[in-house]
Amino acid sequence: MNGQMALLNGVKGSLTDITEASSGSVIPVTCKGRAGELTITANTGALFNIPEGKQAARTSLLDCCSNGAVSFEIKQEDLIGGTIVSGTTIQIWYCKHATQSPDRPIRRLLKSAKLVCVTEGAAQHAVRLLREAAAPRKKDTQRRLLIIVNPCSGRGKARHTFTKHVRPILEAAGFHLDVRETQGPGHATDIVKEAELQIFDAVVAVGGDGTIFEILQGYFHGEDWAQRVRAPFCLVPSGSGNALAANCGLWTPETAAIAICKGRTRALDIFSVVQPPSRRYFAFLSIYYGMMANLDHGTDHLRWMGSMRFTLGAIHEVLRHRRYAATVAYMPAAKSTQDSAKMESPTQEHVKHPSPVPSTQHSSSNAEAHSTQLPPEDNVLHSSSNAEARRTQQATEGNGHSSGATPGSCSSAGPSLQLLQALGPEDQLQLSHIAEMHPGWQLLSPRDTSFFAAVNLPMLDFHSSTGPQADFNSGCLDIIYVPNITNRKQGLEWLDQLGKGRHMDGNLTHLKKACAMIIEPYSEGTSLVVDGEAIPYKRVYLEVHPSLCSVIVA
Ligand SMILES: Nc1ncnc2c1ncn2[C@@H]1O[C@H](COP(=O)(O)OP(=O)(O)OP(=O)(O)O)[C@@H](O)[C@H]1O
């Protein structure tokens, strides 16, 4: 009959009744064995069935059939691909749902089964069929990933995680892997800057959110940044917080690797973080000031503890019982929707397939796309956790506002900053009168807060959610703040509620949705932290770019 037939006949003596199913782009072939059946109907979302013997998945098909075995089935969504074990023996890789509870992302476990073919050619053909059946969008010869492993993230196990838990899955799916290991802070940015991103199916970080942050800075390099952002990115959780992985439902490294194979993406808002005259970062997660900044960045030396360092840091901060002063101005999200309805995001067309939302997320829709283009320039700086370095930097730059600098025309790559542009030069901007000078802007009150954060995604890590109403592409940041925690007991109770995602209940915690913000920090003993990385301690401007990038989701 055809090529598939040759393969199926090539499986030693096991297949007797072979029929072709409907025609389609991939492998519409059904075949039946004496004791079970083998079905590949990738384009209809059907099954890959192989007989199961006494030794279940580890038994060859030949053995299964001669044992008179029952069949078990692998759903197409669970099929990962295949590899040649040796000569004529192939291994089918698939996954199983390990946990499934309504308030947790799905965890997946890797499984495999061996199958013996008569000839080596048949074995190679079988592997190709398996890979195409698992991910019918692309020929296996064209799949390519840029993998960036940060050996220092989290507890320093990223290298092991990649080799042991991620690489075998991606290879089974037929990806060509360009693997790079970071040599130090900022290296991930350089790797991505130099990469031809268009040839990759995705950029994968094996690390933490800081690695993703560095990768993101590398995306906005060169005139073609609008094309470069089309490559989705993904976090294989190997850091301390792993917020991106938590938000994307990538509960374990294996789950993340399987999600990469399946290639489901979701549009993600990115926000610019601007410090005139020329500094501009691109962020995906959050900006913290005060308590959150301290518990995150202030616990860097406790990296060996994993995510426990954040819990300890939070308790320490609550016991300090401090309030932090800042003038915060923001433009409510609804206004931006009106302003930006006509404009388009560069990736709007590209991100056509919204993926399943992890069940921990709630949706909100407040704003729409409003990004356009500016000529690019590399001006990304890498953060330093060192307070001394920060002070030196401030002394060099001055903590005041650069004369004539306009936050909205910060000369950098990336989409234009329309909302910030409208504010005009920084030295003419009186923050305390912004509402009168610039209709649509508001001041946050009070100036002193016990807790302050603005988040783009709901989950802080795998265990807690800072902004449960935040969403991937809502077009806004959720400003979460607590004006005043009156005593330590109330602080600890509030922390407990935060851990359970119930801190928004009651009236202690406030929420504003903003498409642009300005933060002028005043307090000593804290910092500004963007996506877990400290930035210079001075006034900062933020603007959201709806759906600018896309991320791999479970
Ligand atoms: N080879 C290296 N040596 C030292 N530091 C490195 C190296 N490569 C990357 N880094 C730095 O490691 C820091 C921590 O990485 P990352 O943020 O990914 O892990 P994490 O902080 O443990 O996780 P999370 O951000 O999710 O809490 C980054 O700021 C990055 O600049």
What confidence score (pLDDT) does residue 320 get? 82
State the average pLDDT over residues 234-253. 94
Q: Counting every residue, how long is the chain?
A: 554
Decide: 532 in ligand 1 pocket, CB within 6 A.
yes
Which amino acid appears at position 65 of this protein? C
What confidence score (pLDDT) does residue 126 get? 74
Task: Report d(CA 79, CA 58) in Å as an integer.
Answer: 16
Quickly state the pLDDT bin for 412 (edges 50, 70, 90).
Answer: low
Decide: 526 in ligand 1 pocket, CB within 6 A.
no
For a substitution probing ligand 1, which of 147, 148, 149, 152 has the most ligand atoms within 8 Å of its CB?
Answer: 152
Quickly state the pLDDT bin for 395 (edges 50, 70, 90).
Answer: very low
492-505 per-position pLDDT tens digit? 998 888 888 889 99
Using CB atoms within 10 Å of the CB of residue 433, give its burial: 0 to 12 exposed, 13 to 18 middle, 19+ buried: exposed
State the average pLDDT over residues 484-496. 89
Cα 2 to ligand 1 centre (Å): 51
What confidence score (pLDDT) does residue 411 get? 60
Decide: 247 in ligand 1 pocket, CB within 6 A.
no
Decide: 217 in ligand 1 pocket, CB within 6 A.
no
Using CB atoms within 10 Å of the CB of residue 515, give its burial: 0 to 12 exposed, 13 to 18 middle, 19+ buried: buried
85-117 per-position pLDDT tens digit? 888 777 888 887 776 566 665 677 787 777 766
What confidence score (pLDDT) does residue 401 get? 53
Atom of ligand 1 nearest to the CA of 212: 18
11-55 per-position pLDDT tens digit? 332 332 222 333 333 233 333 333 333 433 333 333 334 443 333
Decide: 237 in ligand 1 pocket, CB within 6 A.
no
Cα 304 to ligand 1 centre (Å): 12
Decide: 313 in ligand 1 pocket, CB within 6 A.
no
Distances (CA, A) of 64 to 3, 16, 54, 58: 24, 14, 7, 10
252-267 per-position pLDDT tens digit? 999 999 999 988 899 9
Cα 536 to ligand 1 centre (Å): 18
Among the ranges given (95-104, 202-211, 279-288), the one the predictor scored with the smallest mean pLDDT? 95-104
Decide: 531 in ligand 1 pocket, CB within 6 A.
no
Ordered by where they begin, the domains of the chain are: 3-138 (2.30.29), 143-263 (3.40.50.10330), 323-345+363-375+384-400+417-542 (2.60.200.40)
Decide: 209 in ligand 1 pocket, CB within 6 A.
yes
Decide: 13 in ligand 1 pocket, CB within 6 A.
no
Distance of CA 174 to the CA centre of its chain: 22
State the average pLDDT over residues 352-375. 31
State the average pLDDT over residues 373-385. 32
53-64 per-position pLDDT tens digit? 333 333 333 333
Decide: 150 in ligand 1 pocket, CB within 6 A.
yes
State the average pLDDT over residues 415-440. 91
Choose the most confident range, by mean pLDDT, from 1-5, 316-320, 458-462, 533-537: 533-537
What confidence score (pLDDT) does residue 418 get? 92
DSSP-derived secondary structure for 23-87? --SS--EEEEESSSEEEE-GGGT-EEEEEEBTTBTTS-HHHHHHTTPEEEEEEGGGEEEEEEEET
Q: Over 70: is that where the pLDDT of 389 sits?
A: no
What confidence score (pLDDT) does residue 302 get? 78
Decide: 296 in ligand 1 pocket, CB within 6 A.
no
Nearest CA to ligand 1 atom 30: 185
Q: Over 90: is that where the pLDDT of 246 sits?
A: yes
By C-alpha distance, which of 335, 212, 260 is closest to 108? 260
Task: Give me the percent of the chain exceeding a pLDDT of 90.
Answer: 42
Decide: 464 in ligand 1 pocket, CB within 6 A.
no
Nearest CA to ligand 1 atom 29: 210
Nearest CA to ligand 1 atom 4: 184
What confidence score (pLDDT) does residue 317 get? 83
What confidence score (pLDDT) does residue 297 get? 77
State the average pLDDT over residues 122-150. 79
Task: Report d(CA 48, CA 72) in Å as an integer.
Answer: 9
For a substitution probing ligand 1, which of 147, 149, 150, 286 has the most ligand atoms within 8 Å of its CB?
Answer: 150
Q: How many CB atoms lie within 10 A of CB 324?
A: 22
